[in-house]
């Protein structure tokens, strides 16, 4: 019989290295807010290098990655569970586009995501988000997702 590898939230202690991450602006507890800080910095730094500092929607060039915001394509409020932190639903944006989300800006955002990830990417976002419906967020799962991001992006330095 296979042993269950699932650790329950109860009794799990978030490690010290994770607790030293500053709190980000999204999330409903400190672990989630730290997860947002990691994802937001990673996406903004990644896109700044990869796309020469351009906003995902209007292509305006930002001077520094810190000047941009980490924007959701599918809105944060309508993303399920861990999908709120899914980096393929996120991109570096200027603050104007991120705060004045209208149809035109949203459309341009989607078109650019298709160029980056392929024509089926917006369908992928919808399908993937559905998979997370009703899923409870667990501290241990968040920490392991951050560990995976660090492994996959060795250039990234924790904030």
Closest alpha carbon to 140 in 3, 6, 2: 6
Dihedral over alpha carbons 85, 78, 125, 83 (to 10 degrees): 30
In which residue are the tokens 């599918």 written?
A: 74
Query: Contact between 38 and Zn ion (CB under 5 A)?
Result: no
Q: Which is nearer to Zn ion, 27 or 68 (CB)?
A: 68
**115 token code pair:** 């160029």
Site track 56-75 with Zn ion (rule: CB under 5 A), x = hit: -xx-x---------------
- Answer whether 125's CB lies under 8 Å from 79's CB: no
90 in contact with Zn ion (CB under 5 A)? no
Our finding on whether 91 is near Zn ion (CB under 5 A) is no
With CB under 5 A as the contact rule, which of the stretches 50-58, 109-117, 128-136, 145-153 interacts with Zn ion?
50-58
- Kindly state whether residue 55 participates in binding Zn ion, applying the rule CB under 5 A: yes
- Kindly state the tokens that stand for 66: 């810190």
Residues that bind Zn ion (CB under 5 A): 55, 57-58, 60, 94, 97
């Amino acid at each position: 019989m296979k042993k269950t590898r699932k650790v329950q939230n109860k009794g799990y202690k978030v490690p010290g290295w994770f607790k030293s991450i500053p709190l980000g602006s999204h999330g409903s507890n400190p672990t989630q807010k730290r997860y947002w800080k990691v994802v937001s910095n990673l996406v903004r730094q990644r896109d700044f290098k990869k796309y020469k500092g351009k906003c995902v929607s209007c292509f305006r060039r930002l001077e520094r990655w810190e000047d941009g915001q980490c924007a959701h394509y599918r809105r944060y409020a309508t993303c399920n569970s861990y999908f709120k932190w899914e980096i393929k639903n996120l991109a570096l944006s200027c603050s104007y586009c991120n705060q004045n989300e209208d149809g035109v800006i949203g459309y341009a955002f989607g078109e650019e995501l298709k160029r980056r990830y392929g024509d089926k990417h917006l369908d992928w976002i919808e399908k993937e988000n559905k998979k997370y419906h009703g899923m409870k967020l667990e501290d241990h799962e968040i920490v392991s997702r951050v560990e995976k991001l660090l492994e996959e992006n060795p250039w990234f330095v924790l904030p």
